[in-house]
Amino acid sequence: DKDGDGMAEVMYRTIQDCSIDTRMTLYKHMVLSGGTTMFPGLPTRIENDIKERYLRDALKGDRTRLSKFRIRIEDPPRRKHMVFLGGAVLAQLMEDNEESWISRADYEEKGAKAIW
């Protein structure tokens, strides 16, 4: 067994690794998707965890500046199936692009290496 970072931690680090010019925009446009995001209270928990981490690391504990930090986490009602729906839309868009597909014969011959 191996413990890993939580969703809020991964989201925070990912945004902080981006250009400083885009971070605030990213914090305002986070979207949850997939069945594991359906837990009651998850969006609020993630928002609170990210704010606490931002307060600690970026604002060095200065709560007076936290009021200017805007964060928005979208949790659409159909998010349980959004991952599948996104993949289905992408597959449909790529349907006629021969370079985006591999044949069964290629996969059986090369295995996962056929993808790369």
Q: Identify the structural domains of the chain with CATH numbers, from first to last.
A: 1-76 (3.30.420.40), 81-116 (no CATH)
Measure Cα distances from 74 to 27, 77, 107 in Å: 11, 10, 38
Q: Supply the mean pLDDT for the chain.
A: 92
pLDDT tens for 61-88 read: 999 999 999 999 999 888 999 889 999 9
Confidence class for position 99, pLDDT limits 50, 70, 90: confident
Q: Please, which residues bridge with residue 74 across strands?
A: 31
The model's pTM is: 0.72
Confidence class for position 48, pLDDT limits 50, 70, 90: very high
69 and 59 in contact (C-beta within 8 Å)? yes
